[in-house]
Every structure is written in C-alpha cells, then in structure tokens.
A and B are shown apart, each in its own frame.
Chain A
Amino acid sequence: MRCLIYVEHNGGQVAESALQLGTLAKSIGAEAVGLVCAGDGEAVADLTRQLSGFDAALGVADPVVSAYNAQAAAKALTQCVETQAPDLVMTSYSTAGIDLAPTVSIKADLPMIGYVLELAIDGDGLAAVSMVYGGKLRAKTEIATPCIVAVMPGAAKAEALAGQPAPNAEMIQVDLSGLAMTVVETLEPESSDVNLAEAEKIFCVGRALGGTEKIGVAEEMAAALGAELAGSRPVIDAGWMPKVRQVGKSGTKVKPKLYFMAGVSGAPEHLEGMEDSELIIAINSDEQAPIFGKAHYGAVCDMFQLLPALTARLNAGK
C-alpha cells in the first residue's frame, strides 16, 4: 500500500502533525510518500530532510507556495493523486487538511473521512474510527481504497520515526499559473503579556459562562488559583475574551501542570490543545460532556455554584 501524505510546514519546520501521519502510515504497513510544496528547491530539500522514516518524497518548488495557498496546494495534491495513484491520501485534520481533503476528494473522485483517530487495514480496504458530534460519538467507517483520510493531530506519535533516514525529494512540475487566490500576508501569533504556552496553571471557561457580565466569577477563580485565565473557542468568538487567551486547535497548545476547566464540553478541537496537561480537572453540567473521557477528575455541577465555593476556599487557604 502506498500512502501519499501532504506535508504541512511553517517557518522552515515540518509540522509535527505531518510527521505523525508518517508514523500512522508505517503503522499499517504502508509506504509513506510525502508531498512537500515550498517556495524553492532549497526549501523543499530542507523540509524533506526532516521527514525521518518516510520512504519517498515529491517536491513542488514555486514562489506561490512559499506560504500555504489553499488553491495551489489543492492543485498540487490533486495532480500527484492522479499521476501517482496512491492507495491512500493523508492530510492532517487541520485548516489545510479541511481545505484539501474534501477538495481532492471531489477533483479525484475519491471517498473521504475526516476527524480520523484510528486507522487499520480491513480486508482489501481500511477501517477508520473518527470522532463526530463534537467528540460525543465515535464513527466507525469501512472504506475502500483508494481513499482520503484527514487525521486528527495526536493520533500517532511523531517520535516513532525519529532518527531514521529521510528520503530525497523527487521534483515534479505543477502548473500553478492563473490562480484565483493570493496570500497577501502571513501573520504570526500576536505577542502579549498572556503566555498560555508557558503557564503552569490554567483555568479555562467555556460557552456555559454565558456572557461578559459573568466574567468576574472566572477572573476571581483564576486569581485565587494563581492560574492564567483561558477560554474555549466559543468564548473567544463571542468576544468575551481576547484571542490570546484561546486554547485549542485555532488557539494555543498548552501543557500546564494543572488545567482546570468549567463549562467546556471537550470538542476534539479543544482536546487537541490541552490533552497533554499533567492534571485535568473538569466540571460541566452535562454528564455526557466528552471532556469527562479525557479529564483525570470530573464533577457534574453548575459552575456558578461551584466556582464561588472553590474560590472562597482557596482564598481562605483551607
């Protein structure tokens, strides 16, 4: 089985999620072939050198793809799928993967599954497990090859292939003229006094906070705990907290000693950003909240009763 992997990168570094795809491909006995799109041949070579344990790599060098361009990347990946005829195409379930996997599935007429957590050979095809409905259910899908899967970051460990030799890229030509999309500017994360990535303790609130009028309860909790205050995506999208306080897929990835969370259901996008925390304590009013499958300690209760009670205890030191 031959597996074509779209290799994401940023700032000259291959994304860890792309290396994880290599591990996943090898774990089902597939040949891992990376597709590396970058601004010039040297950049392609530098990135390909990071693909430890991959069996082969295809390189596309064009100034248009020096930064990720959804239309250009889809064109390159579709062309590779058509000319290389891989049995399996893998992307991460990332922004690029969400652009690319469905697009290529239409252009190359292949079936596609997203949110994939587990993948195994099943007869002539594959069996995939994905998380759906915000992580509340697992979907098991039997899928014939050739097919496309978009895999959740963290589904495999990148270190498994570390130290193994990397391939050399075979350069291919893709016509990237006449695109209707231009990347005008790339933006790095805003710097600010808030540094969630380095925080030892984080208190994160979710949608159940209800609005900015209640934010004082959360701020007092964070202060009593000596923790940095964070929010899940709905909290940031609603404008209740600035973006620098967002934990998760489109926010910051964190690994604190304590991750205390209230009113966060635990969608896969949030788990991706915090599941490596040393101690996770979650309270939620919904006993079915997926976060209880990931937390170390959990309680089903109303945060507006629990938080003041806990804040008072912490402030009293008992």
Chain B
Amino acid sequence: MELGEDERDIDREWIGLELNPFDDQALEQAVLLKESVAARVTAIAAEAEGGERMLKTALARGVDEVRLIELDEEAVQLSSRARAPLYAEAIAEIAPDLVLTGVLSTDDLYGELAPLLGAILDWPQVSAASQVTQKGASVTVRQEYSGGAAAMVEMQLPAVVGLQTASRPPRYVPGSKLRDLLKVEIPTSEPSVEPGADLADATTLELPDSSGGAEMIDGNAEVVAEKIHGILSERGLV
C-alpha cells in the first residue's frame, strides 16, 4: 500500500479491488434472508472504481435489484460521513425493511456507515452483529462485544444492521456466472442531496514508523525454522 502524492489518500492506481470481507458477509446474509423469508434484496453502491463490478457480483450472488449512485468524478473517494446522506436518500426511496452493511470496510474506515445511516434515517441500528433472523415486523440479531460476550437484540423494522458475520460463510460464485452479467446495464440514480461535511481535508496519512518493530529473520524456510527453533529453545519455550 502506498500513499498518494498529497498524502490525503492512498494511491489507488494499482490496487486490485475485491469485495471487502464484511460487505461480503452482509451480501451473503441478505441472500440468505431472500432464501429463508423471501426477502426482496436490493444492493446499492456509490460510484467508485470497481463499483459496477461489485453490483454485478451481487446480482450473480442472487440479489434481485441493484442501483449505482452517481458521483462526480472528483467525489468518488468520499468518506462514509460524506456519502451517508447520499445512501440515506437512496434508501428512503427504496424503502426497505432492513438495511445491511458490512461493519467495516476499506472505504468505511471507522466502521461508521451503519450507525450514521441509522441516525440519519432515525431507524434503530446495531453494529458488530451476526445471526440475523426476521419474524413479522421485527428482526433479531446477535450483537458481539469484547471478550466473547454477546446479546440477542430485537429491533422493530425498519432497522439498520452493521454486519460482522453472516449465518453461513459467503458462497462461491463461478466466473462463468459473472461473465454472463458483463453486458448487463447497471441502473443509476443521481443524488439530489449534498455529501455530508467530513474531515478529509484535515487528515494526512503516513506509513507507520517501522523502526522498533520486529527483528526480522532472513533466509529460506529451513533457515527461518532453525532460527525460530533457536529463539524458542533459548527461552525455554520448547
């Protein structure tokens, strides 16, 4: 990972993009709800490099509809705080019972998207959730706390969930299914609200100072194994 010239953002030119793990879990959970309670699932994304491909992946995984929110070219790397009003507007139009987001992602650096949406829409929200089940006009989730503690929380719908783990690991989608969707047109919508004010202009990024970090062991696997064995023996750990 490298910094861009102005140190405001990372250099994205050569970064390979894939759906980040928590959004992957959220997408899987949505499809599981479609299968278990016949939920109708819409996947939305804001325009960014790879955004269309992600939505095609979502279609391949089984969502019913997708929508790409158009952004100005210079606005494609907005923070969650900036994007939240745009998503909230699209969500209000779609009027779902449940909004699922990944609890954290590379474009949601502080894991704030789900609570921001909950606050803007004035819907109940929990983050770090798993085990989502729907019954009538409510949804029950397991909220995870530190040290392995948890609670079962019931929310009246509509609600927002920042998902940590889907009820089942995300399914595999064969490349052929994705190729079939290559020519599909992704519907877009133009936001009518302004992005939220954020701290992007007040933030600079830097690589952590790696001095004082690990003493690095060089060599091939056999050499590294020998040295690690030596360190463990010296300390009486083996």
Contacts and interface: CB of A to CB of B under 8 A. Distances in A.
Interface of A: 10, 15, 17, 67-71, 74, 94-96, 98-107, 111-115, 130-133, 135-143, 150, 153, 179-190, 201, 225-226, 234, 237-239, 243-244, 246, 249-253, 257-258, 260, 272, 279-283, 288, 290-302, 305-306, 309-310, 312-314, 318
B147 A180 contact: no
Interface in B49-105: 81, 84, 103
B109 A281 contact: no
Contact of A292 (B112, B203, B216, B237): B216
Contacts of B193: none
A297 B228 contact: yes
A139 B204 contact: yes
Interface of B: 1, 3, 10, 21, 25, 81, 84, 103, 106, 109-112, 115-116, 118-120, 123-128, 140, 142-156, 159, 162, 164-165, 168-169, 197-199, 202-210, 212-222, 224-229, 231-232, 235, 237-238
A115 B221 contact: no
B110 A137 contact: no
A10 B145 contact: yes
A161 B183 CA distance: 63
Nearest to A114: B110
Contacts of B143: 70, 95
16 contacts: A71-B124, A95-B146, A114-B112, A115-B109, A133-B109, A139-B109, A179-B124, A180-B124, A186-B151, A187-B151, A237-B165, A243-B148, A291-B214, A293-B209, A299-B219, A299-B227
B124 A258 contact: no
Contact of B214 (A15, A139, A272, A297): A297
A306 B202 CA distance: 44
A94 B149 CA distance: 12
Contacts of A298: 213-217
A180 B155 contact: yes
A230 to B, nearest CB: 13
A91 to B, nearest CB: 11
A187 B150 contact: yes
A102 B148 CA distance: 23
A187 B149 contact: yes
B213 A133 contact: no
B207 A138 contact: yes
Contacts of B159: 180
A98 B115 contact: yes
B237 to A, nearest CB: 5
A251 to B, nearest CB: 6
A318 B115 CA distance: 54
A182 B139 CA distance: 11
A111 B199 contact: yes
Given A106-B120, A112-B110, A189-B148, A237 B226 contact: no
Contacts of B209: 293
B147 A253 contact: yes
Q: In this complex, which of A133, A143, A301 has the most chain B Cβ atoms within 10 angstroms of its Cβ? A: A301
Most buried by A among B25, B146, B205, B206: B146
A285 to B, nearest CB: 12
Contacts, number: 260
A133 B153 CA distance: 29
A94 B111 CA distance: 11
Contact of A188 (B149, B164, B169, B232): B149
Contacts of A70: 124-127, 143, 153
Contacts of B116: 102-103, 105-106
Q: What 6 pairs between A and B have smallest CB-CB spacing? A: A114-B110, A298-B214, A189-B148, A106-B119, A305-B221, A102-B112
B151 A185 contact: yes
Contacts of A103: 115-116, 118-119, 125
B165 to A, nearest CB: 5
A180 B154 CA distance: 8
A190 B118 CA distance: 30
B151 A183 contact: yes
Given A137-B206, A182-B153, 4 more contacts: A107-B119, A112-B110, A135-B208, A283-B224
Nearest to A280: B214
A145 B106 CA distance: 27
Contacts of A314: 229, 232, 238
Contacts of A299: 216-219, 224, 227-228
Contact of B152 (A153, A184, A279, A288): A184
A139 B119 contact: no
A279 B237 CA distance: 10
Contact of A237 (B25, B111, B202): B25
A142 B125 CA distance: 29
B208 A95 contact: no
A252 B1 contact: no
A100 to B, nearest CB: 8
Contact of A310 (B120, B149, B213, B229): B229
Contact of A234 (B10, B21, B115): B21
